[in-house]
Amino acid sequence: MHIKEEKAERHTLAVIVDNEPGILARIAGLFTARGYNIESLTVSEITEDKQVSRITIVTSASPHVLEQIVAQLDRLVPVHKVRDLTAEGAHVERELALVKVRGTGEARIEALRLAEVYRARVVDATISSFVFEVTGGTEKIDKFVELMNEVGLIEVARTGIVAISRGKDAA
Amino acid sequence: MAEKSGADILVEALCDLGVEVVFGYPGGAVLPIYDAIFKQKRLRHILVRHEQAATHAAEGYARSTGKPGVVLVTSGPGATNAVTGITDALMDSIPMVVITGQVATHLIGSDAFQEADTVGITRHCTKHNYLVKDPARLGATIHEAFHIATSGRPGPVVIDIPKDVQVATAKYTRPGPIQHKTYRPQIKADPAVIEQLVDMLAAAERPILYTGGGIINSGPAASLLLRELAKITGAPVTSTLMGLGAFPASSPQWLGMLGMHGTYEANWAMNQADLILALGSRFDDRVTGRLDAFAPNARKVHVDIDRSSINKTVRIDLGIVADVGHVLEDMVRVWKARQHPKPDTNEWWRRIEGWRAVKSLDFPEGDGKEIMPQRAIRALWEATHSQAPIITTEVGQHQMWAAQHFDFEAPNKWLTSGGLGTMGYGLPAAIGAQLGNPKALVIDIAGEASIQMNIQELATATQYRLPVKIFILNNEYMGMVRQWQELTYESRYSESYSDSLPDFVKLGEAYGWKGILIEEMSQLDGGIADMLAHDGPVIVDCRVAKLANCFPMIPSGASHVEMILQTDKVAGTLNDEAKALV
């Protein structure tokens, strides 16, 4: 016997939650308990009184499971609302990465040249290294990291995706 | 306003919320609360013998009264022992509030004595849970917990209270109306959707009402409205295990329970229907059988208060998120306002009568001496139904036989562990039901294996003089396991024999119960009469045919029309796909 899997689609969800203790465990735990995927998860307070957080989750699932994910998230008591940004139309996704690169001579010049192409900023420099800050979509950052790998990549820190819908309305 | 200790706030809040009974067990981390209970007279505390039993007793109380069940246990093992019953209440949507003690706030995380991460452990088996670190928040948290446990889709809520929070003092404000920031269950359906639903029902040629525990949770009015809807539409009614009693079994429109051990007519009617109206039921795998063969020609409407129930397993044509009682009320009103004539369902009923004629619940009577378990249930029903008893069960063959052969006329009379399937549920649930309904006849229909899982609760019934009855169908096997081993594993009875059974009569007597042994048919009616005549708790050890199996049955991985009937000879093995299903 073999176990079959349904075809998955990648969706970005925005989850607005009450900022209570354990909320992140509740959400992450829901995904593991019900066998859903998390590709990326970011969380931050978004109101002045620090009472509300916005969680951006990138998940892969079949359309049927995606509907369940949204419904299951919405059912949690501290959740204000859940939006499937991918399903609801145009939205912007951004990620920030800090990329540490080692290099001297030609490699060092090449790293700077590539950074300029990718609009990466130098946020730290030594005689033999740089830390670049780069923002953009996931693909752009993947590509930048791949190029830096050839020049002399040491390590990468990435925020994961944050996303917001286009246009004047809130999610 | 004078400040009160956290323990006093808890007691006062429970009283303010109308709580009369608390099921619990003391321990180090709840001593301040137990002292507060000692000093008051409004709350009645029922001392169980194991924390799991406290949760099932609270479930029995809740299911039979419609009020939330309340549990009080200590930290660590007290809380972990309660986890099974909390999960049971989550699966069956039972309103329950569980208060757990916790080590003092400054000790949390230090692996202190009897410390467990209760909110972490119960996060996924509760509807919601709280760790209260500030006594000033305690009162409002308790009020909110009851609101969440009892509104929307009911469920268990845990409040973990560290010992120092029980001792520290704060001001307490009495409960007022709750407008929760985020939790706002949708109660009423959009009128346009109700119109659409009535159109669909009026146009259907082969409708069926598939009802579930949601009707019972909605309250007695929903059961009456269901009867009204069935009357004006002429539609047949079937129900899940959890929904039994919402529709009277004596009605000619009643098809019996559906699903794995449902009737032939209920499952065939589901398969052949052109419209399935699911009312407070959730298309559980015990109900649907093989999903890709489930009701292939039916349009499906699903009314459920929990949005996540809709489209979870079965594709729905019209989903309605609302309280089923309100939807029934609106449907009946719209139907009547339009003066719809009763649809012509004669042809549909002619076909249903054909399936009914199979008499799928009939069973072989045995040799006249041996008691068939189904006969024992029928005899119990004959002797007691005029008193409208409350029936609880454990889990297994006896549970399914009770569901098939004990007919219910009213809601809140049938208490069973459906979703989780928890052996050991029945005795504590009967204790809880008896406390909530002191005058009612309460019977736990049990198996000899299940009853041993919470047998210690015999003492609880004795202590509080609760006249509960236990009727054990003793076949010396974990019968449902044995039945599956016959169907799937060529009768290799791996560990399913109930060896070294106690003498249940003597065991009962040791706890101060009356014990009755029934060994053959000639003793059955007399034994039941003796049980009913005794004004106190009675345990009946009824020896039944050892190898009887529960039919009809939809084997795992099969569809509604592939039922095994009593008369079919089945044994052997199943393919791996079927073996992998539960």
At B293-339, the pLDDT tens digits run: 999 999 999 999 999 999 999 999 999 999 999 999 999 999 999 99
**Is the CB of residue B538 less than 8 Å from the CB of residue B470?**
yes
Catalytic residue among B39, B113, B409, B577: B113
What is the rounded CA–CA span in Å between residue B18 and residue B69? 11
Give a yes or no: residue A73 inside a domain.
yes
Residues A46, A62 within the same domain: yes
pLDDT of residue A170: 86
Q: Which residues of B touch A29 (CB under 8 A)?
A: 123-124
Q: Flag if A75 and B308 touch (Cβ within 8 Å).
A: yes
Helix B6-16 vs helix B135-150: crossing angle, to nearest 10: 30
A63: contact with B, CB 8 A cutoff: no
Residues A83, A127 within the same domain: no
Domain end point (choices A88, A115, A141): A88
What is the rounded CA–CA span in Å between residue B505 and residue B488? 35
pLDDT of residue B67: 98
Domains B4-170 and B373-543 share a fold: yes
Q: Which residues of A touch B181 (CB under 8 A)?
A: 18, 80
Catalytic residue among B260, B480, B531, B553: B480
Tokens 């359309």 map to which residue?
A63
Residues A109, A79 within the same domain: no
What is the rounded CA–CA span in Å between residue B269 and residue B227? 19
Give a yes or no: residue A100 inside a domain.
yes
CATH code for position A137: 3.30.70.1150
Percent over 70 (pLDDT), chain B: 99
B312: contact with A, CB 8 A cutoff: yes
Residues A121, A156 within the same domain: yes
What is the rounded CA–CA span in Å between residue B256 and residue B237? 8
What is the rounded CA–CA span in Å between residue A30 and residue A27? 5
For residues B121 and B576, the model is more confident at: B121
User: Is domain B373-543 annotated with CATH 3.90.1300.10?
Assistant: no
**Is the CB of residue B205 less than 8 Å from the CB of residue B171?**
no
Question: In this structure, which amino acid lies at residue A90?
Answer: A
Give a yes or no: residue A141 inside a domain.
yes
Among A26, A68, A77, whose Cβ lies nearest the Cβ of B148? A77
Question: Is pLDDT at B44 greater than 70 in this prediction?
Answer: yes
Residues A57, A114 within the same domain: no
CATH code for position A38: 3.30.70.260
Question: Is pLDDT at A118 greater than 80 in this prediction?
Answer: yes
Nearest to A160 by CA among A44, A53, A42: A42
Question: Is pLDDT at A2 greater than 80 in this prediction?
Answer: no
Torsion, CA B482, CA B484, CA B490, CA B492, rounded to 10: -30
Give a yes or no: residue A171 inside a domain.
no
Q: Which residues of A touch B123 (CB under 8 A)?
A: 22, 25-26, 29
Q: Name the maximum alpha-carbon separation found in chain A.
A: 59
The string of pLDDT tens digits covering residues B478-530 is 999 999 999 999 999 999 999 999 999 999 999 999 999 999 999 999 999 99
The string of pLDDT tens digits covering residues B453-474 is 999 999 999 999 999 999 999 9
Question: Is pLDDT at B186 greater than 70 in this prediction?
Answer: yes
Please compute the mean of the pLDDT values over residues B338-345 and round it to a whole number: 93
pLDDT of residue B293: 93
Question: Is pLDDT at B112 greater than 70 in this prediction?
Answer: yes
B504 a catalytic residue: no
B470: contact with A, CB 8 A cutoff: no
Percent over 90 (pLDDT), chain B: 95
The string of pLDDT tens digits covering residues B519-576 is 999 999 999 999 999 999 999 999 999 999 999 999 888 999 999 998 666 666 777 7
Among B124, B131, B307, whose Cβ lies nearest the Cβ of A33? B124
What is the rounded CA–CA span in Å between residue B142 and residue A92? 42
Catalytic residue among B51, B265, B448, B457: B51
Q: Which of residues 489-508 of B touch A (CB under 8 A)?
A: none
Question: Is pLDDT at B409 greater than 80 in this prediction?
Answer: yes
Measured between CA atoms, the residue of chain A closest to residue B184 is A77
Q: Can you tell me the ipTM of this complex?
A: 0.90
How many structural domains are present in chain A?
Answer: 2
CATH, domain B4-170, list 3.40.50.970, 3.40.50.720, 1.20.120.80, 3.40.640.10:
3.40.50.970
β-bridge mates for residue B102, sequence order: B162
B480 a catalytic residue: yes
Give a yes or no: residue A4 inside a domain.
no
**Is the CB of residue B183 less than 8 Å from the CB of residue B251?**
no
Helix extents (H) in B66-182: 77-91, 118-122, 135-150, 163-167
The HSE-up count of residue A170 (CA atoms within 13 Å, CB side) is 5
Residues A103, A152 within the same domain: yes
**Is the CB of residue A81 less than 8 Å from the CB of residue A74?**
yes
Question: Is pLDDT at A4 greater than 80 in this prediction?
Answer: no
Look up residue B273 and give its DSSP letter: -
Q: Using H for helix, E for strand and C for coil, what is the string for B354-420?
A: HHHCCCCCCCCCCCCCCCCHHHHHHHHHHHHHHHCCEEEECCCHHHHHHHHHCCCCCCCCEECCCCC
- Where are the strands (E) in B147-298, listed by range? 156-162, 169-170, 207-211, 237-239, 254-257, 275-279
A135: contact with B, CB 8 A cutoff: no
Question: Is pLDDT at B125 greater than 90 in this prediction?
Answer: yes
B151: contact with A, CB 8 A cutoff: no
Question: Is pLDDT at A6 greater than 80 in this prediction?
Answer: no
**Is the CB of residue B514 less than 8 Å from the CB of residue B540?**
no
pLDDT of residue B570: 63
The domain in which residue A73 lies consists of 9-88
Nearest to A67 by CA among A87, A40, A91, A53: A87
B123: contact with A, CB 8 A cutoff: yes
pLDDT band at B580 (very low <50, low <70, confident <90, very high): confident
Distance from CA of B120 to the nearest CA of A (A): 8
What is the rounded CA–CA span in Å between residue B243 and residue B233? 20
Look up residue B254 and give its DSSP letter: E
User: Is domain B191-356 annotated with CATH 3.30.1600.10?
Assistant: no
Q: Flag if A1 and B148 touch (Cβ within 8 Å).
A: no
β-bridge mates for residue B470, sequence order: B444, B539
The string of pLDDT tens digits covering residues A66-97 is 999 999 999 999 999 999 999 998 999 999 99
What region does B36 belong to: left with phi over 0, alpha with psi -120 to 50, or beta?
alpha
What's the token pair of residue B238?
């079937």
Nearest to B553 by CA among B334, B261, B192: B261
Look up residue B453 and give its DSSP letter: G
Q: What is the DSSP string of chain A?
A: --------EEEEEEEEEE--TTHHHHHHHHHHHTT---SEEEEEE-STTS-EEEEEEEEEE-HHHHHHHHHHHHHSTTEEEEEEHHHHS-EEEEEEEEEEEE--THHHHHHHHHHHHTTPEEEEEETTEEEEEEEE-HHHHHHHHHHHHHHTEEEEEE---EEEESSSS--
Domain end point (choices A54, A72, A88): A88
Sign of the C-alpha dihedral computed for residues B418, B424, B427 and B432 taken in this order? negative
Q: Which residues of A touch B183 (CB under 8 A)?
A: 77
Q: Which residues of B touch A79 (CB under 8 A)?
A: 182
What is the rounded CA–CA span in Å between residue B470 and residue B473? 10
Measured between CA atoms, the residue of chain B closest to residue A16 is B182
Lowest-confidence pick of B13-17, B202-206, B556-560: B556-560
B91 a catalytic residue: no
Q: Which of residues 182-241 of B touch A (CB under 8 A)?
A: 182-183
Residues A21, A73 within the same domain: yes
What is the rounded CA–CA span in Å between residue B448 and residue B348? 42
Residues A50, A25 within the same domain: yes
Mean pLDDT, chain B, integer: 96
Catalytic residue among B12, B52, B91, B163: B163
Residues A70, A118 within the same domain: no
What is the rounded CA–CA span in Å between residue B405 and residue B331? 32
pLDDT of residue B569: 62
Q: Flag if A64 and B311 touch (Cβ within 8 Å).
A: yes
Residues A110, A49 within the same domain: no
B260 a catalytic residue: no
Q: How many CB pairs under 8 A join A and B?
A: 42
What is the rounded CA–CA span in Å between residue A171 and residue A57? 14
| In chain B, domain spans | 4-170, 191-356, 373-543
Give a yes or no: residue A170 inside a domain.
no
The string of pLDDT tens digits covering residues B228-256 is 999 999 999 999 999 999 999 999 999 99
Domain end point (choices A88, A111, A141): A88
Please compute the mean of the pLDDT values over residues B102-119 and round it to a whole number: 98
B163 a catalytic residue: yes
Q: Flag if A77 and B127 touch (Cβ within 8 Å).
A: yes
Chain A contact probe: residue of B151, B283, B308, B316 with most A CBs at under 10 A:
B308
Residues A105, A80 within the same domain: no
What is the rounded CA–CA span in Å between residue A110 and residue B446? 78
Q: Flag if A22 and B119 touch (Cβ within 8 Å).
A: yes
Give a yes or no: residue A31 inside a domain.
yes
Q: What angle do CA B237, B241, B246 make, to 5 degrees?
A: 50
Give a yes or no: residue A118 inside a domain.
yes
